[in-house]
Amino acid sequence: MKQLFSFIKKEFYHIWRDRRTMFILLGMPLAQIIIFGFALTNEVKNESIAILDQSKDAAASQIVSKISASRYFNVTAILHNPDEIIRTFQTNTARIVLVLPSTFGEDLRHINKAQVQLVTDASDPNIATTLINYATAIITDYQQSLNATAAIPYQINVQSRLLYNPQLKGAYSFVPGVMAIVLMLICTMMTAITIVREKETGTMEVMLVSPVQPMKIVVAKAIPYLLLTVVNITNILLLSVFVLDVPINGSLVLLTGESILFTITCLSFGLLISSVTDSQQTAMMISMMGLFLPTVMLSGFMFPIENMPLALRIVSNVVPSRWYYEIVVAVMIKGLGISSILKQTLVLSGMTVLLLSLAIKNFKIRLE
């Protein structure tokens, strides 16, 4: 029994001295609980809404006030004409627009019946349906408050209009998200073991005496994976269009170019991981387990980023898949051009330069 306790004590010492094991045992569960606890929610709150009030009377103002006071919506824009509605969705100013017609107040006073319209971005059908239900519930609550003191009951009819995905097909949001996740994980994993494999197989010494510059070595390791990933991108797009029936409403050239840019970003991330780790097992663990949760939870694919606490929203800015997901939705589903995704493109380009520079720098240190 004494020997058993001695071995248990020795094992505790090994775990205590191994910081990576301690992080996995104690740090990973805490990180998962925090991310799952705050990100995993089907509730929609603090969503952006734009108001097009053509009536500008007391009844319309009361509805706008009730929506503004709700914890589900933040009024981010006041529109002045119907032509601004499409532009609102193209610039991601709002996810839903409430349209109050010019005769709203007059119809409500004279015939006790009026109509409003809810226009929403249905590129994510689940969120679109939820937003319409929430807004309808607020308007219904206002209607009930009027009926409590009215001799003749008031009736407010809510008409909904779904843009980009009127049939509410789940594939319209599923395909962009899967593209972001698959390319992020596969590309990063492929290059995460390239440099560290040289060290484990003992061929790092060959590079030490090689006249080739470190930058060229790093780039040479990434190019084969880039070409193979282009084949994957082609296959994914073909399956999306001809099997899943998801159209490419925007420029195919632009979508392909942005996908290649995102691939280079992921490959650079993998090269950085490979340059700072000491074993293929560690590199694989970081590229798979370490990136899977942020990619799935913080990309905006499964759960709206607007619902998350400020800390997680800030962290999501450094997750490349978030920006690529927004690009695919904008180009593939909404049919927008380069001007609408310029911000996302610049962010991915900056990430690529930074990650590739860090990978080359760490590789130089290994060769010295």
Q: Is residue 246 predicted with pLDDT exceeding 60?
A: yes
Residues 6 or more apart in contact with residue 108 via CB below 8 angstroms: 59, 114, 154, 156
**Which among 317, 302, 324, 319 has a CA at the least distance from the CA of 39?**
302
Distance, in Å, from the CA atom of 351 to the CA atom of 357, rounded to the nearest integer, reads: 10
Which range, of 139-148, 187-196, 325-334, averages the lowest pLDDT? 187-196
Q: Is residue 119 predicted with pLDDT exceeding 90?
A: yes
Q: Is residue 20 predicted with pLDDT exceeding 70?
A: no
Band of pLDDT at residue 301, cut at 50, 70 and 90: confident
Compute CA distances 206 → 202, 217, 305, whole Å.
8, 12, 47
Distance, in Å, from the CA atom of 30 to the CA atom of 80, rounded to the nearest integer, reads: 48
Distance, in Å, from the CA atom of 191 to the CA atom of 227, rounded to the nearest integer, reads: 13
Residues 6 or more apart in contact with residue 138 via CB below 8 angstroms: 63, 66, 67, 70, 72
More confident residue, 307 or 51: 51
Q: Where are the beta strands (DSSP E) in 214-356?
A: none
Distance, in Å, from the CA atom of 198 to the CA atom of 298, rounded to the nearest integer, reads: 33
Q: What is the pLDDT of residue 212?
A: 61
Which range, of 95-99, 197-201, 325-329, averages the lowest pLDDT? 197-201
Distance, in Å, from the CA atom of 240 to the CA atom of 248, rounded to the nearest integer, reads: 9
Average pLDDT, the chain: 81
Let me know: does 125 contact 170? Beta carbons within 8 Å: yes
Q: What is the pLDDT of residue 125?
A: 85
- Mean pLDDT of all residues in 4-16: 61
| SS3 letters across 211-225 | CCCHHHHHHHHHHHH
**Which among 277, 250, 259 has a CA at the least distance from the CA of 338?**
250
N- to C-terminal Cα separation, the chain: 50
Give the burial class of 156: count Cβ atoms within 10 A of its Cβ; 0-12 exposed, 13-18 middle, 19 or more buried: buried
Band of pLDDT at residue 9, cut at 50, 70 and 90: low
Let me know: does 245 contact 171? Beta carbons within 8 Å: yes
More confident residue, 334 or 285: 334
Q: Is residue 39 predicted with pLDDT exceeding 60?
A: no
Compute CA distances 145 → 24, 36, 112, 149, 345, whole Å.
55, 38, 14, 8, 48
Q: Is residue 219 predicted with pLDDT exceeding 70?
A: yes
- Coil, helix or strand for 322? helix
Q: What is the pLDDT of residue 270?
A: 85
Q: Is residue 67 predicted with pLDDT exceeding 80?
A: yes
- Coil, helix or strand for 99? strand
More confident residue, 282 or 62: 62
Let me know: does 172 contact 313? Beta carbons within 8 Å: no
pLDDT digits (tens, 9 = 90+) for 126-182: 888 889 999 999 998 888 888 776 667 778 898 988 888 888 887 788 888 888 888
